[in-house]
Chains A and B, each alone.
Chain A
Amino acid sequence: MSLDRRRWLAGAGASLAGLWLAGCDRLVANSTFNGMLKVAEKWTLRAQRLVTDRNALAREFGPADISDDFKANGTLRPRDPEYAALLAENFASYRLEVGGLVEQPLSLTLAEVRAAPSRTQITRHDCVEGWSSIGKWKGARLSALLDRAKLKPEARYIVFHCADTLDPSATDGAGKYYESIDRIDAYHPQTILAYQMNDATLPIRHGYPLRLRVERQLGYKHAKYVMRIEAVASLDGIGRGQGGFWPDRGYEWYAGI
């Protein structure tokens, strides 16, 4: 191999390394390339649905495993006036609304939610950032509430509307937190609306008065400060249409990985 050719190749190698770094950032911003990457999300979802029993339970832990430093992310104390007003009167006039595609809409006081069929579970909470904490949750079984409201057959998703505005800069009205799950996850035995954490009233930073627990999914699915539950046939038109505050911002809706 001639010296010229070697020099040319070495130069090409260095140029390629530079292009590689700059190119990756350009590709991140390229919508066609992003579309290609998004295809893999569908494969991952399908692969997970293929190998996983939708009714399989998340691991439950013992009391000794409970974290004493359970981390709180997202909103730690909603500044929304509606929430502040409810807090001032100890949530006396709070009503959990269950509506949308149901035959019997519900409007439940906190006492009524606490009196509903419940489940207690010690589970691991996995944040999308990479950390995990273990906590004990007691809450109303979502399946029992949905049965009481008589979910219509055309309802495909259950949407959780929350009290907190996590992105005040959003000008399209999509700054409020919300999440959604499909019918199967809604009827999973471990899916509850938690009002107790570690045998005490759910702390404000963890979502008082009600927080969704949908085990086997990442932390951002576990919507805090739940005010209203809506059964829908499609997620279009809610927020930015991707099914949740973080899914609207590029994270996976199904949150299983």
Chain B
Amino acid sequence: MAHKPAKVMIRRHSGVTRITHWLNVLAVSLLLMSGLQIFNAHPALYWGAASTFAEPWVSMKKVEVGGEPRGITTVGDLRFDTTGLFGWSGAEGAREQRGFPAWATIPSYRSLADGRRWHFFFAWLFVINGLVYWLWGLARGHVARDLLPTRDQLRPHDLLHEIGEHARLRFPKGEAARTYNVIQKLTYLLVIVVLLPLMVATGLSMSPGFNATLPGLIDLFGGRQSARTIHFLSAAAIVVFVAVHLALVVVSGFWNNIRSMVTGRYAIETSGGAEGDRA
């Protein structure tokens, strides 16, 4: 007997996942914006232990071009005119020299002391929240059950198929939507296991006090200026992740996704008959 597709509500995210997710959104957003304020105090990046001021591998500054100030961003040997965005920004007539523009920093005006105060406060929230998520996730099996890919999911053929489906913006439906697909699992693991802890480790490596505590950590990153560079690159990777994550949240059923991360309830379409678990 054929059944019509039916909507079944399942419980997708636990309370701990939801609360830590939104606290992380708050902490990471404020860390990013206060971090850009700190970056603006010296808008250049280097590799190694010390700065090589004449040869930053990234820099944003105001340069006079033909008697007119322009915002110039350099990356290696490449040179871009980024007037209005990086190096020289602000309303016409009130432009100022700054790495990232006012709308991207906390506070909007230049204040390294305030930026640092915000950064180190929300770093505590970020770390404590992350530890709660991690410890709970390991203890209650969330990581093993929901995030580790199954052996089947990792077969090259299945991986390629999943990538192809994502590229066409076709997402798992029905029973297959009950669990994370392999791309979701690998991406979330990359963020949770690699990028977010990397932010903490490279951040601590920039502390001259902590260097004396654990000299091996800064060596791992190749010196303090390398640690600063990796801190910046890792933050950039998180921004890219968030952009893609948000885009996929929108195209794969915006309200369903948002509801599941707020209330925990997620709707899947089944061929009927299946029971929603704990819905």
Contacts and interface: CB of A to CB of B under 8 A. Distances in A.
B38 A256 contact: no
B76 to A, nearest CB: 19
A29 to B, nearest CB: 8
Interface of B: 30, 33, 38-39, 41-42, 44, 46, 49-54, 103, 106-109, 111-114, 116-118, 120-121, 123-124, 206-213, 215, 218, 224-225, 228, 255
Contacts of A250: 111, 113-114, 117
A24 B106 contact: yes
Q: Is the interface of B mostly helix, strand, loop or mixed?
A: helix
- Pick from B50, B53, B210 the residue with the most CB of A within 10 Å: B50
- Pick from A51, A218, A257 the residue with the most CB of B within 10 Å: A257
B128 to A, nearest CB: 10
Contact of B224 (A6, A24, A43, A126): A126
A82 interface: no
Nearest to B203: A257
Contact of A28 (B106, B206, B207, B225): B106
6 contacts: A24-B108, A53-B212, A69-B53, A69-B54, A130-B39, A246-B113
A57 B212 contact: yes
Interface of A: 1, 6, 21, 24-25, 28, 34, 36-41, 43-44, 48, 51-53, 56-59, 61, 65, 67, 69, 71, 124, 126-134, 215-218, 246, 249-252, 254-257
A41 B103 CA distance: 26
A58 B215 CA distance: 9
Given A65-B49, A129-B112, A130-B228, A48 B33 contact: no
Contacts of A217: 208-209
Nearest to A26: B107
Contact of B120 (A40, A58, A255): A40
- Pick from B103, B107, B208, B213 the residue with the most CB of A within 10 Å: B208
A27 B23 CA distance: 18
Nearest to A70: B50
B107 A28 contact: yes
